[in-house]
Structure 1
């Protein structure tokens, strides 16, 4: 049995300015630290769709991270694009290739925030392009308080993999998103919901570990966050 599995994490990307005069990758340290602290060896995966097979050969599991980007509505069958939607085509192409390859291998996958949304789309789901324009009386899903604090509570769906992992009926989570899963599609089930009805988590019963959450468990705000990451790393052994 492998003691510490290699966990591949996707990166965000930024245009020149700030850190560098040239295009650069970005990822918060706590993504890597949380995976390491929960028993994995984190490694970064670049945005090279043509290398997806080789990259997946090198790792035991895949984390599709969040970031400053949105999924192109055309990928889930919508022609119009909300003015708030910001695309990063290179990132989305690479992550789509990685998700497809990981699903085909039965490799454990964890999608976080925007990663959860892309995972949903890859498995036939659709998205809400901008929550404030779609959900009446929506919570502030882009929470005003710091991201290392909880923004709201979620209710876990009984009988799901996530509920079994967390071992509780509710969690307190942070919230840093303006989009969400609209419909999970036929291959996914909803495993968590916010009080305003916004979907907060999805999973595929047909896969060994294929789960997405709308919040950021790498901040380890709720006890269930560590349980989720530990279960993910364990599935990669």
Structure 2
């Protein structure tokens, strides 16, 4: 039997309501289905920061998913929090621990949407806390049409990992975010930009596979999305 790489995906969490009156974990199925389609075996990780190293010993790669919450602005040096910012402190604490551990190990990492923002902050970036307040003539980055459809296109930076993986200079993506990477430190590379100038992806060229994208490739909007997941899982097999 072919060994399939194990991909750890931290769960989302809610304090209660809907599924259960008590606190519960959840994750959209298409994250797991996209990993399986790409040849990996997903396992879902609950939020125990003190178990991060043990989790890392069980997986071959780490996928940080998005969610309806934001990175704590204090983590990138902001002294004020925009009124739209929503925190999930337990999830963020766990993802900080496991993402830092994965990066230190040279483990393949894929950050999606809010996961890309967290990855960027860990590597020294700052964030725009609310795009409509900071970007003139901004696109609708929280697109009004379904997430299963494109919201806009991105232009890919030539020579980046994202460019090598997708083989595309430009392709359509969906868009479901009100924050974005604002500035990156030396050593971190911007790999994609929206038509309004908003940063849509970052990567660490000093790492074997450390890629973040602002959109959701698990929806498979274009062949480029499938190529991103396939390349990530292949890297986890190495």
TM-score by length of 2: 0.98
- Cα displacement string for residues 69-97 of structure 1 (whole angstroms, at most 9, x for unaligned residues): 10000000001000000000100000000
Partners in 1 of 2:38 and 2:184 — Cα distance? 28
Task: Name the counterpart of 1:165.
Answer: 165
1:234 matched residue in structure 2: 234
SS, match of residue 80 in structure 2: coil
- Report the CA distance between 1:2 and its aligned residue: 6.4
Aligned-residue offset at 1:26: 1.4
Query: How many pairs does the alignment contain?
Result: 237
- Superposed CA RMSD: 1.0
Gaps in structure 1 of 5+ consecutive residues: none
Match of 1:20 in 2: 20
Alpha-carbon separation, structure 2, partners of 1:119 and 1:168? 23
Unmatched 5+ residue regions in structure 2?
A: none
Residue 142 of structure 2 aligns to a residue whose secondary structure is: coil
- 1:193-219 per-residue CA deviation (whole Å, 9 max, x = no partner) reads 000000000000000000000000000
CA drift of 1:160 comes to 0.4
Partner SS, residue 57 of structure 2:
helix
Matches within 5 A, 1:104-183: 104-183=104-183
Q: How far apart are the structure 2 equivalents of 1:193 and 1:203?
A: 13
**How far apart, CA to CA, are the structure 2 residues paired with 1:118 and 1:175?**
17
TM-score (norm 1): 0.99
Distance 1:213 1:168 in 2: 15
Segments ≥4 residues shifted beyond 3 Å: none
Deviations 1:3-22 (A, max 9, x none): 31000011111121100011
**Is the Cα contact below 8 Å between 1:157 and 1:163 reproduced in 2?**
yes
Q: Deviations over 1:124-177 (max 9, x none)?
A: 000000000000000000000000000000000001010011001101000000
